[in-house]
Amino acid sequence: MNGVGNDYIFIDNLNSKNNNISKKIIKKICDRHYGVGGDGVVIISASKTADAKMKIYNNDASTATLCGNATRCVAFYLAKKLIKDSISIESGEKILYCQIQNTEGGLVIVSVNMGKAKIIDTKILTFKGQKYKLYIVDIGNLHCVTFVKDFDFDVPKLCKVIQNLPCFGNGINVDLVSVKNNTLNIKVCERGSGFTLACGSGACASAFVASKEKLTDDKVVVSQAGGKLDIDVGENIIMRGACKYIFDGVFYENK
């Protein structure tokens, strides 16, 4: 399934207590040439506090604590399986509440309450003579948000410089944001997956900072390469967007 182009391979493990999967298999499945291909793998398992629990692996087999688009896809899947429109999902330390809203153009529209976000630090970075203010945002995972006029520069290089800053240890998700007419255009380089067509938590983190800095209203459209998400920055952040089922099948490890 994918959420506005952010594609994951989902494994239904609700009826098993063994959620182990090797790094080798994750990398093999995610390979777009020799495997299935995806931004990562999500294991759906039983939860004592929600309809299900999800564990997220990036395509380099590192783990992630949160993924907004993958959460919406899991909600879409569970809604069909459980025959209900309201779904709760345990992810990391959060319980995320999702709502299946309607179908537009063959796509299922799913909203998710992402909870609260907070800016935990800011830093100033000078890159090729230009100063960038970096906002480090905690929304269940960490994002580094910075605003740019446009994307007519070496975007991959700036993202690499930010991710390799010593203060970020094992790296960080980087969101480059251009604001125009209450719309955010963003490019996201995710820790462990690189540039993706969309990033739900990145969209929420970017909208949160833009709202706090009075650059946009509380309700904003976030446009990414894979499509658009509607973000409402209220007491809790609500993200709304499309999900699409692609296919299912069996992956043979040794064939």
Residues acting as catalytic residues? 67, 199
Nearest to 175 by CA among 190, 193, 160, 165: 190
Phi, psi of 201 (to 5 degrees): -65, -35
CA distance 235 to 146: 22
Displacement of CA 53 from its chain's centroid (Å): 16
Measured CA angle at 179 (ends 195, 105), to 5 deg: 65
CA distance 83 to 69: 21
Handedness of CA 77, 10, 17, 63 (dihedral sign): negative
Nearest to 145 by CA among 154, 157, 158: 158
| Residue type at position 113 | N
Give residues with Cβ within 8 angstroms of 59, minimum separation 6: 26, 27, 30, 38, 39, 40, 41, 192, 193
What residue ranges in 105-215 does DSSP mark as E strands? 107-113, 118-127, 130-138, 142-147, 173-180, 183-190, 194-195
